[in-house]
Structures are given as structure tokens and as C-alpha cells.
């Protein structure tokens, strides 16, 4: 005989597990409602967006930890006051004077307690850090400021002067019609000079970018790589919006897992829902999907410094070998429009009748033959490992392109690394071609043309084509000398023509931007200009 | 045995025949064998069995549901994936890649393991003892860890992950061979051939190896099921086979991105791996109990 | 007894030495700069580089380098992660306990379910219930663990909504890591609602434990069943039966003890499988364990992390295996060491 108890034991065990883990779901709701959890896709590289243009970094930092001098109004894109309460521009368009807000306090955390409020010194420190190579903080954390470098902004600023504690004057060397917009982007954040000085004295300046102090709606509590970032509400936030007590970024690289967490309620909002999942979100009653046409572009860039991709004919051949419409359908599932130029239709400089490449494998093969590329030539396609609005599934797109290239006798290998490694290798120019893209930080067309293809954007790592062309440089510089929209539009038309001839990159798509969140969140809105904002977002009681 | 002793003199089943008879007696084992044979046929004849090229993308037919669902079509039995590739063809090819590579690496591990094990078994002494102890301890290192290290050194790829699994499988063959050889060496028939002047080499190949085949088959099936699980796990973690190579684990990982709208892309490859491993295990189990029964009779 | 202890200690130290040597060699085998692979610090200039080279004795012979490496490991200076810049000791210290924790629970599940069921099946061998148990265990044993985890997520989290699918505890709780074991850490932490936190953590434990535990339990059932059947066929059982002992008496006095002995070493092999499975499942449940950490490290090509991670995991697995083996040897000195059998 077998003792009965042996049979009942497993049952007992399961019941016990159930009881302990609360198969009866009566959680302390108030506690779970005090914080907002956002499922993000990757780790920020630094907690300072000056140092990195990836939207992972800006999402996690810009609007959570920091403020800028100016802001974009999310709906109209108009520039509105933020830390600067007002500003004046001199008649020659070279001198900008900013009046600063008073009573703005920095975060008080376990590692820093501010003794003074925000003032002009913080502005000067924040700008000079990226502007002046001689600044003690300039070389800290790698010393690269990709956004500002790619715009050549540092060279154009002649001086940043303190008029008094709450008034700053910035003088430019040349007119720059996009200057104010640049100050309102995610990257132009204001750091605390007092904190920086303190760290410098202690000999650990690099902590400035890992343990951040800002004036934003949340203060930094902790970050565990690949797991989470934890923020608490900044109790003395000057805008005094009623944000959640805690803001947590749950780092979840797989988009399917992010959606799963959104469904189970482990996340309240998620980054980059995959295009294939949009209908799942729409069909669920307790999930919300916000969508807006995005200011972005997904493209296929060739490393123009590597033969044979230095030959425009080879690039043209490759562009003719792929069918963009198919890519749009298969990768974006109709949530994007075909890109002809760098600019999306939402931009005022959009050119509707621009030239575009068409699918023509026969012509492609002929061009390749003419350029001396034998069938069986092999190349790499780098597919970025993260989802972006402008390219929700680069690997899939790469696989599609791989097939198209096979049709014209080119063997393509797909290369992918972890996101930060990927970008490091890209900056070093190890790729033949890459599928990547760009989300605009402001509505100005210069924000597409300059960071993506100007010479100064090569070392800063946003010019993925590693392309440098004098005619192009001249055109885009010329466009900034004037405020007249028609003149600028004509210049950008010329630039489009030049780009079509040289094809350093193949524009593929302008995608819609999506944000998925649970119904219980109030105050969520898509910010078309750059990163996500959680100021004022709360869970409903 | 249930046979009439009357016929015993006329029919002497060889050990293999005996084993087969015992094996046949178990219906489950037979079904397992049948399924396994099916998988082997799939693997060997994949190019002739599949209706489509497993890499061929078809943008007009993305994510078609399997044929038994309401809006599925018969032309795509298992439906299509996010690139419009025919899932049935991919899974058949996946069997070929996963089962085939597992087969190759088990044979490889067996060859290396048996050789080393035989040498260690025939030799004895302090030297082999220390080596054995170390080897035994090191064989506890998980395959996943070895795979990660090999990927770090050589890069990702099916072949590199196969090396890792082979390395991880070798010790158990060494171990079993060594134990077996050491036990056999004490037996009289070995002593007899030794007295006949057989060298160690001859001793192993002529006397011990024929007796070891059964053990190797059983160990081989065990290793094969582990190998299939490991190959697909590494493919799933993107440390093994790289897309677009149709490896079952990699197909499953691919399907994960569309798990909500096309769950068959996750369910079917997973089910295939499961059935494959199950059939191998059932056959291995059947073989073991058949052998056990034969010996006990 | 002492002889065994000494032998195993020597074996243990030797194996650790071999592992350390392996991890040292890895720094040379991995792509990239040996200095960076060893230290995890990318020197910013030549001066710093020279200083690091001297610090790691890279200008001296390999033997001295290794000796120095050994000393550094002993002193707890394991180098820095290439991607996060944090000390590796700290990172491993956070990740390893999470894996140990989940594996322990899975092992407990295997012991509490697998052992009794295995005994039952063994005693009722070749009956209908035994065949059922045997088939179910063979089926569970054949399921790819990553697929099982996905199915569990799909069913319990997404369909039924009874269990969360990621992490060890809701991120709303900020539990400082003291021991690395979440349940203990909850009890140690202050300013939180302990009941709520414990319930939340157990809730999170449910699915990963089930995913890993199922396979180990299946293995445990099969091992136990086999062992019991083997014992039942022994002459001394027939003798006991002939003496008129009742079945429970035979079971308690003879079967249970004799069948338990071979289970232990066979479970030792399962440790490897268990930890491998735990490492795979961690990636699906975002469990902050060593498997998740290592796989992130390989995606990010964080060579210093891989070097230390490999050392940490293999040391853990091998220590456990050797410990179990030694324990077994002490209980049953007549047995061939590391007996391995079919499951």
C-alpha cells in the first residue's frame, strides 16, 4: 500500500503556492497607482542628452530630468518659453538675449543637495561644456557632442555672456535661422554648475553624466543596466505639474514582450509598439494608441568611403535593385509613407515632385556591370538591433533587401550588434551599408540635411553614409543665411537634386509615430519633436 | 520468454533481433520510431518535399494563417511568416538543419569521446586518474556557457554553436566508454584474447567495441535529444543559426515578433521541436527497456 | 572520511585553478585588446595605458601575469564591465543570487513533487498509473524549456492574467539588494508593506519556477522510479517479502533508503541542466539573473563580463557537483564515483 498522503502532497503544494502568491487578487491598489512604469527599449548611454543623439537617451533624460531654455509647443511646434521666460533678437540677427526664470530649483538627491537656485551660470556652463574644447568638462565622458558637432553650432557661437544673474546674451558669428529651434531641442538641456564644480573638486567629473542633476519634473534615483531606471517626483518642480510619485523605465528590448507587459499591466506605457501589433492594441479596450505623422526618415545609407560604394553609379544600381513599396508594405504594414527625399511631408520645405528611384533590377544589373561589379560580389547590410518609428524592424527589411540584391547577383550578409556596440562600430565606419534613420528634433529642414549628410556630421557619428560633398555643404549653409521661406525652399530643392544624383543614401520611409498606453494613464501625449514626456502624467485613481 | 521452448532449437534470434522483438512489443515505442523516421525522411528529402523555397519571400502573402483556420489557404499548409515565407517549407527545412546538425555533432562527439574514453579505460594509473577527475568536474560546465564563449571568440553561426555542443557532449561519451572498457577488461573473454596475444588496439576493436555498440546507440539517442534541444535553444537565443537560415529555434525566435497576430509562427516550430525531441526520447526509452528486458531474460 | 575530504578538496582546488587559467586565457582569445579584456577599462591615453599595463603585469611573462590575475581575483578585484563601467564583482553579486534563488525553488519543486511521484510510480511499476506518470514525465522532459516558458506566459499571463511575466517583483518596490535573495531582502528592507511585497514577489516567482521546475521534476520522477524498480528487483526484497513483511514495511525499511542513494549523484548531473534552463528562461521572464546578464554581455560583446561570468557560473556549477558527489561518496563509499545513468 502506498500512503495516500503522497498523492495529496503535490496538490497541497500547488494550493500552498497559490495561496502564498495570492491567487486571490486583492492588491493594495493605491500603492500600485502611485507610480508610472514605462517599458523602454534599451539603456541610455549617458544620463545627459548632450552626449548622445539616440532617442533612447533623450527619451530617458531630456524631458524627465531636465529643462531647456525654450520648448516646442507639442501641437503647433511653436517655440515657447521654458527656463527662459522671454528673449530678444537683435536686428542683425546675431545677438540673442534671454531673460531667465527665477525660483527654479535643482534636484536634491542622496548624492547632491543644491544650495542655490538655477541662474545664468548654469546656462553658461551647460553651453560652454560642448562649445569650448578648453572647458574642463569638455573631454569628460568621451568628449563628443554629436548633435552640436553635426550642426557645427559650437563654431558659430562667438560668445555666451552673463549680463546679470538672470540674463544671458549669446552672440553668433553668422545668422542662423534655426538657432532658437536648436536651443529648444532635446539635446540643449541645462545642467547644474554647482554640482559640476563639486564633482570636479572631488575628482570624479564623469559622475555628472551618470548621476544626473537637473531642474526637470523627476529626479534620478537609480539605474540598473538592462533592467530599470527609477525616478522620483521632483517635489519643488517649478512648473508644479502633478506628476506621478515614481517614474520607472522598465528596459525591455523585445517589442513583443513590451506589448505583453502592457497587456498584463506590468507597464503603463510602452515605447515603439511594433507595426504588426497596432491592431492588437486598438482592439483591446483598456489600451490606447496615439498616432501622429512623425518627423522622421528611415533610409539605407552606403559607406561612401569604402570602395566600391564610393562610386555613385554603384549606389544608384543598388537603389534601383530594391522595391521600396514592398519594403513599406512588409515592414511598416502601411503605417508609413514612401520617402523620396530626406524631408517628410509635414515639413514646410517638402518637395512633392522630387526625383525618386524606381524598382528596376535589369537596369541595376547593367549599372553594376558597367561599374565592374561581378556577379557574386558580397557586401554587408547592417541592420540596427532596436525598433524605431522610422524603421520598426531593420532585420526584416535587411532580409528583404538581401533577396533583392541576390536577384542582381550580390550576396549580402546581415550584420547586427547590440545597439551601443552597433553605433560605435558605425561611427568607426566598419559597415558597407546600413539600415537606420533619423527622427527630427525640431521642425527645421536643416535638422535633416545637416546632421545626416554634412561633413561635420561624420566624426560626430550621425552621417552614416560618411559622405562629404562641397557643393552640398555650400547649399545647406546658404539656406541658413536667410529667413525667407521661399528662398530656403529653392535651395533645398537644389540639395534634393544633388542628393538624387549622388545617392549617398536611399530614402525609404517616413513613418507615423505611435505610443501605446493603458487607459488608466492621464496626460499622455505624443511629442512630435523628440522624446517622450512624463511630466503631468498620472494613473487615474 | 513466452516462446515455446519447442522451437528454440530451430530459431536462435541474434541479440539485435531479440532487442527488436522487445522493442516492437511496446506500441508507444513503435509510434515514436515512426515519428522519428518521419522526421528523418523530412530531413533527408527536404528539397523534394517542400512546396516552396524556404527563403523565398512573398510580399503579397504576409502572415497567411494555417490552412485549417478560417482564412487560411491550402497552398500554404502551415501559413506564412512575416516575410511571406511558407512556414511548412521552413519547418521541413528546419528539421533538416536542426536534426541534421544534431546528428552530425553527436556522431562527432561519439567518435572523439569513444576514442579518448577507450584510451583512458585501457590505460590506468595516477595520470589517467587525475585527468579523469578533472574531466568529470569540467563536464559540469553548461553547454550554454561553452556556446557563449565560443560565440565570443569565433562569432555567431550554426557551425560555431555546433562546436560548442559537441564539446559539451564529448565528456559523457568518454565517461561511459571508460567505465565500460574498464569493466570489460576484467572479463574472461578479454583475458582470453589477451592470452592469444592481442594488442590493446586489437583488443578494443575486435573484442570490446562490438559489445559496446548497444551502449553507444542508447547513449547516442540520449545525446541526440540533448543536441536537438541545445541547437534550437542557441538558435532561439540568436547565438546559433543566423537568419535567414531556417533552424527551428531561430524560426521560433523570428515568430516571437508577430506572436500576437500570428501565433502559429511560435506554436508550430515549438511543437515540431517538441515532437522531435519526444520521438527521440521515446525511441531511446524503448531501446533501453528492450535491452534491459533482453538482458534480464 | 578525512581521506575523502582531502581528496575532494584537492580536486576542487585543482578544478578551480584550471577554470581560472581558462578565464585568463580567454582574455587573450577574445577579440580586441588583452588589456581591455582583462581590466574592462579602455585607456584614454598612452600614459594611462602604460600604467594599466604595469598594473596588470602585462609587460612580464605569462606565468607572472597569471599569478597576478589570481591574486587580483582573490582580492575581489575582478575588473570592470566594458559597457556599464561598474565593478564586475558587484554585477555578478547582484545577478548570481537571483539565478541561485530561482534554481533552488525549481529544485525544491522537483524534490517535493518528483520524489513522491517517482516512488509511487516505481512501486506500482508497469501498472496503469505508472505508465501514465512515466509518459507524462517523458513528455515534460522533452519540452524545449524556452517554448514551455512562452506557452506559460501566453496562458497564465496573457489569457488568464493570473501571473505577471517579468522580473522578480513589481518595479514599484524599491528593494535594496542585501543578500540577493528577493524574499530575504524584502524581509530585511524597511519602509515597505512587507505582506504586499512578499505576495508580489511570490507572484512573480510562479511562472519561472514552473517553467524550470517542470523539466527537473520530470527528470526527478524518472530517476526515482528507475531506482525504486531496480531496488525492488533485488534479492533482499524478495527475502523480506518471504519473511512476510507487509508492503509498507518493505517500503519504509528497504526500498526508501536503498533507492535514495543512487538518486543523489544523478541529481548532481541535473544541476547543470537546471542552471542552463534557468539561464535560458531568465531571458524570457526578464529575470535579473546571471543568464540574462551573460546573454546581454554576449550581445554587447562585453568581454570582461563574459570572462568573469564564465568563471562565476562554472565555479558555481562545479562546486555544487563536487559537493554532491563528495556527500554521496561519504554516504556510500562503495559506489563508483560520478555514476551516470539514463533518465
- Quick: pLDDT tens for B147-169: 889 988 888 888 999 999 998 88
Instruction: For residue A379, give the C-alpha cell.
Output: 557586401
pLDDT of residue A5: 39
Instruction: For residue B169, give the C-alpha cell.
Output: 557532449
Q: Find chain B residues with C-beta within 8 A of C31's C-beta.
A: 152-153
Q: Find chain C residues with C-beta within 8 A of A252's C-beta.
A: 166, 286
Task: Compute the distance between CA of residue B188 and CA of residue A190 in angstroms, rounded to an integer.
Answer: 88
With CA atoms as reference, report the closest residue to A224 among C84, C32, B151. C84
Beta-strand relationship, A218-224 and A228-233 = antiparallel
Residues of chain C with pLDDT under 70: 333-343
pLDDT category of residue B1 using cuts at 50, 70 and 90: very low
Burial of residue C131 (number of CB atoms within 10 Å: 0-12, 13-18, 19+) = middle
C114: in domain:
yes
Percent of chain A with pLDDT over 90: 43
Task: Compute the distance between CA of residue A178 and CA of residue A190 in angstroms, rounded to an integer.
Answer: 19
Contact B141 C138 (CB under 8 A): no
Range of lowest pLDDT (A9-23, A132-146, B177-191): A9-23
A255 inside 8 A of chain B by CB: yes
Task: Compute the distance between CA of residue C248 and CA of residue A72 in angstroms, rounded to an integer.
Answer: 81
- Domain residues for the domain of C223 are 98-287
**ipTM exceeding 0.90, yes/no:** no
* Model pLDDT for residues B256-269, shown as the tens digit of each residue: 888 888 888 999 99
A414 inside 8 A of chain B by CB: yes
Q: What are phi and psi of A163, to 5 degrees?
A: -85, -55
Mean of pLDDT values over A105-123: 93
Size of interface A-B (CB pairs under 8 A): 49
pLDDT category of residue A12 using cuts at 50, 70 and 90: very low
Beta-strand relationship, A433-439 and A377-383 = parallel
Instruction: For residue B102, give the C-alpha cell.
Output: 544534431
Instruction: Identify which of C317, C322, C340 has the shortest CB distance to residue B172.
Output: C340
CATH code at B25-52+61-296: 1.10.3720.10
Q: Which residue has the cell 517616413?
A: A510
- Top-confidence residue, A30 or C102: C102
Is the bond leading into C8 cis (omega within 30 degrees of zero)? Answer: no
Instruction: State how far residue A469 is from chain C, nearest Cα, in angstroms.
Output: 32
Q: Find chain B residues with C-beta within 8 A of C299's C-beta.
A: 238
B175 inside 8 A of chain C by CB: yes
- Top-confidence residue, B295 or B20: B20
Contact C300 A260 (CB under 8 A): no
Q: Find chain C residues with C-beta within 8 A of B252's C-beta.
A: 146-147
Instruction: Identify which of B134, B176, B256 has the shortest CB distance to residue C15.
Output: B134
Percent of chain B with pLDDT over 90: 29
* Model pLDDT for residues A70-80, shown as the tens digit of each residue: 988 877 778 89
Instruction: State how far residue C246 is from chain B, nearest Cα, in angstroms.
Output: 26
- Top-confidence residue, B284 or C54: B284
Q: Which residue has the cell 514605462?
A: A38
Instruction: State how far residue A23 is from chain C, nearest Cα, in angstroms.
Output: 7
* Model pLDDT for residues A430-458, shown as the tens digit of each residue: 999 999 998 877 778 888 998 899 988 88
Supply the DSSP string of A181-222, one letter for each residue: HHHTSTT-B---HHHHHHHHHHT-GGGGGTS---SSSEEEEE
pLDDT of residue C341: 41
Domains of chain A, start order: 6-63+216-268+520-539 (3.40.190.10), 68-207 (3.90.76.10), 296-513 (3.10.105.10)
Question: What are the counts of helices (DSSP H) followed by strands (DSSP E) for chain C?
Answer: 15, 0
Q: Which residue has the cell 553609379?
A: A313
Instruction: State how far residue B158 is from chain A, nearest Cα, in angstroms.
Output: 15
> What's the sign of the alpha-carbon dihedral B145, B151, B157, B163?
negative
Instruction: State how far residue A12 is from chain B, nearest Cα, in angstroms.
Output: 30
Burial of residue B86 (number of CB atoms within 10 Å: 0-12, 13-18, 19+) = buried
**Strand locations in C87-165 (E):** none
Mean of pLDDT values over A412-427: 85
Residue A266 has pLDDT above 80, yes or no: yes
B65 inside 8 A of chain C by CB: no
Size of interface B-C (CB pairs under 8 A): 129
With CA atoms as reference, report the closest residue to A339 among A356, A318, A358. A356
Beta-strand relationship, A95-100 and A167-172 = antiparallel
Instruction: Identify which of B239, B277, B282 has the shortest CB distance to residue C144.
Output: B277
pLDDT of residue B127: 60
* Model pLDDT for residues A279-322, shown as the tens digit of each residue: 888 888 889 888 877 788 999 999 999 888 999 999 999 999 99
Long-range pairs for A85-90 at CB < 8 Å and ≥24 separation?
A87/A180
pLDDT category of residue B8 using cuts at 50, 70 and 90: low
Query: Chains with 3 or more CB pairs closer than 8 angstroms to A?
Result: B, C
pLDDT of residue A26: 46
Mean of pLDDT values over B95-109: 94
How far are the Cα atoms of A319, A396, B88 from residue B57, in angstroms, in the given order? 19, 11, 13
Q: What are phi and psi of A504, to 5 degrees?
A: -65, -25
Burial of residue C265 (number of CB atoms within 10 Å: 0-12, 13-18, 19+) = buried
Q: Find chain C residues with C-beta within 8 A of B172's C-beta.
A: 340
Task: Compute the distance between CA of residue A468 and CA of residue A364 in angstroms, rounded to an integer.
Answer: 25
* Model pLDDT for residues A155-188, shown as the tens digit of each residue: 899 999 999 989 999 999 988 888 888 898 889 9
Residue A14 has pLDDT above 60, yes or no: no
C72: in domain:
no
Report the range out of A52-56, A239-243, B119-123, B162-166 with the highest average pLDDT: B162-166
Q: Which residue has the cell 502611485?
A: A34
* Model pLDDT for residues C188-226, shown as the tens digit of each residue: 888 788 888 898 899 999 999 999 999 999 999 999 998
C222: in domain:
yes
C151: in domain:
yes
Contact A403 B62 (CB under 8 A): no
pLDDT category of residue B10 using cuts at 50, 70 and 90: low
C306: in domain:
no
C283: in domain:
yes
Chain A residue with Cα closest to C170: A266
Instruction: State how far residue B255 is from chain A, nearest Cα, in angstroms.
Output: 10
Instruction: Identify which of B134, B140, B233 has the shortest CB distance to residue C14.
Output: B134
pLDDT of residue B128: 61
Residue A393 has pLDDT above 70, yes or no: yes
Contact A255 B257 (CB under 8 A): yes
C21: in domain:
no
With CA atoms as reference, report the closest residue to A517 among A38, A22, A10. A38
Instruction: For residue A302, give the C-alpha cell.
Output: 552606403
pLDDT of residue B51: 86
Chain C residue with Cα closest to B238: C299
Residue A28 has pLDDT above 70, yes or no: no
Number of structural domains found in chain C: 1
C150: in domain:
yes
Instruction: State how far residue B54 is from chain A, nearest Cα, in angstroms.
Output: 12
Contact B260 A396 (CB under 8 A): no
C112 inside 8 A of chain A by CB: yes
C253 inside 8 A of chain B by CB: no
Residue A126 has pLDDT above 70, yes or no: yes
Contacts with A519 (C-beta within 8 Å, 6 or more apart), sequence order: A285, A286, A287, A288
Chain B residue with Cα closest to C132: B28
pLDDT category of residue A10 using cuts at 50, 70 and 90: very low
- Which of A261, A330, A359, A411 is best to mutate for the B interface (most B CBs within 10 A)? A330
pLDDT category of residue B289 using cuts at 50, 70 and 90: confident
Instruction: State how far residue C179 is from chain A, nearest Cα, in angstroms.
Output: 17
Contact C296 A7 (CB under 8 A): no
Contact B257 A274 (CB under 8 A): yes
Give the other-Cβ count within 10 Å of A90's Cβ. 12
pLDDT of residue B5: 56
Q: What is the CATH number of the domain that holds C225?
A: 1.10.3720.10
Q: Find chain A residues with C-beta within 8 A of B243's C-beta.
A: 395, 399, 414
CB–CB of A101/A85 below 8 Å? yes
Task: Compute the distance between CA of residue C165 and CA of residue C153 in angstroms, rounded to an integer.
Answer: 6
Amino acid at each position: 500500500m502506498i500512503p495516500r498522503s503522497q498523492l495529496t502532497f503535490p496538490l497541497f503544494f500547488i494550493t500552498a503556492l497559490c495561496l502564498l502568491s495570492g491567487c486571490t487578487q486583492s492588491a493594495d491598489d493605491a500603492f500600485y497607482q502611485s507610480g508610472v512604469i514605462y517599458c523602454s527599449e534599451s539603456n541610455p548611454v549617458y544620463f545627459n542628452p548632450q552626449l548622445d543623439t539616440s532617442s533612447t537617451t533623450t527619451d530617458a533624460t531630456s524631458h524627465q530630468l531636465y529643462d531647456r531654455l525654450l520648448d516646442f509647443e507639442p501641437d503647433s511646434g511653436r517655440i515657447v518659453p521654458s527656463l527662459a521666460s522671454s528673449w530678444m533678437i537683435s536686428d542683425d540677427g546675431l545677438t540673442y538675449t534671454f531673460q531667465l526664470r527665477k525660483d527654479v530649483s535643482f534636484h536634491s538627491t542622496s548624492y547632491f543637495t543644491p544650495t542655490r537656485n538655477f541662474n545664468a551660470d548654469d546656462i553658461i556652463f551647460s553651453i560652454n561644456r560642448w562649445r569650448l574644447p578648453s572647458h574642463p568638462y569638455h573631454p569628460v565622458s568621451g568628449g563628443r557632442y554629436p548633435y552640436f558637432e553635426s550642426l557645427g553650432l559650437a563654431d558659430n557661437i562667438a560668445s555666451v555672456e552673463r549680463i546679470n544673474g538672470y540674463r544671458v546674451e549669446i552672440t553668433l558669428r553668422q545668422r542662423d535661422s534655426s538657432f532658437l529651434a536648436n536651443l529648444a531641442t532635446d539635446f540643449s538641456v541645462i545642467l547644474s554648475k554647482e554640482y559640476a564644480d563639486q564633482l570636479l573638486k572631488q575628482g570624479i567629473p564623469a559622475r555628472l553624466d551618470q548621476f544626473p542633476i537637473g531642474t526637470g519634473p523627476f529626479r534620478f534615483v537609480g539605474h540598473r543596466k538592462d533592467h530599470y531606471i527609477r525616478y522620483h517626483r521632483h517635489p519643488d518642480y517649478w512648473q508644479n505639474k502633478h506628476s506621478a510619485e515614481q517614474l520607472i523605465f522598465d528596459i525591455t528590448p523585445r517589442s513583443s514582450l513590451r506589448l505583453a507587459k502592457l497587456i498584463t499591466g506590468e507597464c503603463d506605457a510602452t515605447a515603439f509598439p511594433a507595426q504588426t501589433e497596432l491592431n492588437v492594441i486598438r482592439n483591446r479596450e483598456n489600451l490606447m494608441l496615439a498616432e501622429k505623422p512623425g518627423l522622421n526618415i528611415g533610409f539605407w545609407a552606403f559607406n561612401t568611403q569604402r570602395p566600391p560604394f564610393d562610386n555613385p553609379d554603384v549606389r544608384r544600381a543598388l537603389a534601383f535593385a530594391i522595391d521600396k513599396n514592398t519594403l513599406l508594405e512588409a515592414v511598416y504594414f502601411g503605417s508609413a509613407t514612401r520617402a523620396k527625399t530626406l524631408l517628410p511631408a509635414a515639413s514646410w520645405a517638402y518637395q512633392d515632385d522630387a526625383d525618386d528611384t524606381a524598382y528596376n533590377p535589369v537596369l541595376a544589373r547593367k549599372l553594376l556591370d558597367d561599374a565592374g561589379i561581378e556577379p557574386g560580389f558580397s557586401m554587408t547590410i547592417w541592420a540596427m538591433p532596436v525598433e524605431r518609428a522610422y524603421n520598426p524592424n531593420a532585420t526584416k527589411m535587411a532580409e528583404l533587401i538581401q533577396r533583392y540584391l541576390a536577384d542582381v547577383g550580390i550576396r549580402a550578409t546581415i550584420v547586427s550588434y547590440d545597439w551601443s556596440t552597433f553605433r560605435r562600430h558605425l561611427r568607426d565606419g566598419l559597415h558597407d551599408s546600413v539600415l537606420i534613420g533619423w527622427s527630427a528634433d525640431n521642425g527645421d529642414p536643416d535638422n535633416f540635411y545637416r546632421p545626416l549628410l554634412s561633413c561635420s556630421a561624420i566624426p560626430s557619428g550621425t552621417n552614416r553614409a560618411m559622405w562629404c560633398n562641397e557643393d552640398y555643404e555650400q547649399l545647406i549653409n546658404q539656406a541658413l543665411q536667410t529667413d525667407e521661406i521661399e528662398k530656403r525652399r529653392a535651395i533645398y530643392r537644389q540639395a534634393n537634386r544633388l542628393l538624387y544624383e549622388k545617392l549617398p543614401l536611399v530614402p525609404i520611409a517616413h513613418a507615423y509615430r505611435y505610443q501605446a498606453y493603458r487607459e488608466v494613464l492621464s496626460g499622455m501625449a505624443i511629442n512630435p519633436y523628440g522624446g517622450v514626456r512624463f511630466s503631468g502624467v498620472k494613473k487615474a485613481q | 520468454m513466452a516462446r515455446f521452448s519447442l522451437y528454440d532449437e530451430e530459431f536462435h534470434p541474434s541479440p539485435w533481433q531479440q532487442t527488436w522483438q522487445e522493442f516492437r512489443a511496446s506500441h508507444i515505442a513503435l509510434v515514436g520510431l515512426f515519428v522519428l523516421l518521419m522526421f528523418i525522411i523530412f530531413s533527408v528529402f527536404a528539397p523534394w518535399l517542400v512546396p516552396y523555397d524556404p527563403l523565398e519571400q512573398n510580399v503579397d502573402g504576409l502572415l497567411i494563417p494555417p490552412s485549417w483556420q478560417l482564412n487560411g489557404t491550402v497552398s500554404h499548409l502551415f501559413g506564412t511568416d512575416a516575410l511571406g515565407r511558407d512556414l511548412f517549407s521552413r519547418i521541413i527545412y528546419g528539421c533538416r538543419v536542426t536534426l541534421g546538425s544534431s546528428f552530425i555533432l553527436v556522431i562527432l562527439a561519439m567518435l572523439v569521446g569513444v576514442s579518448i574514453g577507450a584510451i583512458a579505460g585501457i590505460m590506468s594509473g595516477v595520470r589517467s586518474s587525475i585527468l579523469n577527475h578533472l574531466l568529470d568536474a569540467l563536464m559540469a560546465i553548461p553547454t550554454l556557457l561553452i556556446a557563449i564563449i565560443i560565440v565570443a571568440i569565433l562569432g555567431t553561426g550554426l557551425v560555431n554553436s555546433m562546436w560548442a555542443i559537441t564539446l559539451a557532449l564529448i565528456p559523457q561519451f568518454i565517461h561511459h566508454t571508460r567505465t565500460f572498457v574498464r569493466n570489460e577488461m576484467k572479463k574472461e573473454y578479454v583475458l582470453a584474447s589477451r592470452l592469444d596475444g592481442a594488442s590493446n588496439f586489437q583488443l578494443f576493436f575486435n573484442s570490446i567495441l562490438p559489445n559496446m555498440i548497444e551502449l553507444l546507440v542508447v547513449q547516442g539517442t540520449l545525446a541526440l535529444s540533448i543536441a536537438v534541444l541545445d541547437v534550437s535553444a542557441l538558435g532561439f537565443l540568436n547565438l546559433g543559426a543566423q537568419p535567414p537560415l531556417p533552424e527551428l529555434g531561430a524560426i521560433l525566435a523570428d515568430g516571437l515578433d508577430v506572436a500576437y497576430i500570428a501565433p502559429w509562427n511560435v506554436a508550430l516550430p515549438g511543437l515540431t521541436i517538441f515532437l522531435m525531441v519526444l520521438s527521440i526520447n521515446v525511441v531511446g526509452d524503448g531501446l533501453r527497456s528492450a535491452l534491459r528486458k533482453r538482458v534480464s531474460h | 572520511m578525512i581521506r575523502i575530504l582531502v581528496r575532494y578538496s584537492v580536486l576542487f582546488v585543482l578544478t578551480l585553478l584550471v577554470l581560472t587559467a581558462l578565464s585568463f586565457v580567454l582574455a587573450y582569445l577574445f577579440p580586441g585588446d588583452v588589456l581591455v579584456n582583462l581590466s574592462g577599462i579602455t585607456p584614454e591615453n598612452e600614459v594611462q595605458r602604460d600604467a594599466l599595463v604595469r598594473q596588470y603585469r602585462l609587460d612580464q611573462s605569462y606565468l607572472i601575469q597569471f599569478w597576478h590575475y589570481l591574486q587580483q581575483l582573490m582580492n575581489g578585484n575582478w575588473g570592470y564591465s566594458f559597457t556599464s563601467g561598474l565593478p564586475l564583482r558587484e554585477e555578478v553579486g547582484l545577478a548570481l543570487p537571483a539565478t541561485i534563488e530561482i534554481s533552488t525553488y525549481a529544485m525544491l519543486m522537483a524534490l517535493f513533487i518528483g520524489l513522491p511521484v517517482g516512488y509511487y510510480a516505481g512501486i506500482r511499476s508497469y501498472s496503469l498509473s505508472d505508465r501514465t506518470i512515466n509518459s507524462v514525465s517523458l513528455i515534460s522532459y522533452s519540452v524545449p524549456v524556452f517554448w514551455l516558458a512562452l506557452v506559460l506566459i501566453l496562458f497564465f499571463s496573457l489569457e488568464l492574467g493570473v501571473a505577471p511575466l517579468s522580473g522578480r517583483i513589481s518595479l514599484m518596490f524599491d528593494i535594496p539588494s542585501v543578500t540577493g535573495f528577493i524574499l530575504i531582502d524584502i524581509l530585511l528592507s524597511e519602509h515597505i508593506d512587507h505582506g504586499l511585497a512578499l505576495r508580489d514577489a511570490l507572484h512573480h516567482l510562479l511562472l519561472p519556477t514552473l517553467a524550470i521546475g517542470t523539466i527537473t521534476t520530470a527528470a526527478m520522477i524518472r530517476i526515482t522510479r528507475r531506482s525504486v524498480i531496480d531496488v525492488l528487483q533485488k534479492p533482499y526484497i524478495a527475502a523480506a517479502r518471504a519473511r512476510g513483511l507487509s508492503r509498507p514495511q518493505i517500503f519504509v525499511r528497504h526500498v526508501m533508503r536503498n533507492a535514495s542513494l543512487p538518486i543523489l549523484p544523478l541529481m548532481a548531473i541535473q544541476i547543470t541542466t537546471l542552471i542552463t534552463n534557468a539561464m535560458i528562461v531568465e531571458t524570457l521572464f526578464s529575470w535579473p539573473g546571471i543568464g540574462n546578464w551573460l546573454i546581454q554581455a554576449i550581445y554587447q560583446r562585453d568581454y570582461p563580463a563574459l570572462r568573469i561570468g564564465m568563471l562565476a557560473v562554472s565555479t558555481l556549477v562545479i562546486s555544487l557537483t563536487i559537493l554532491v558527489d563528495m556527500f554521496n561518496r561519504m554516504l556510500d563509499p562503495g559506489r563508483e564515483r560520478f555514476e551516470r545513468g539514463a533518465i
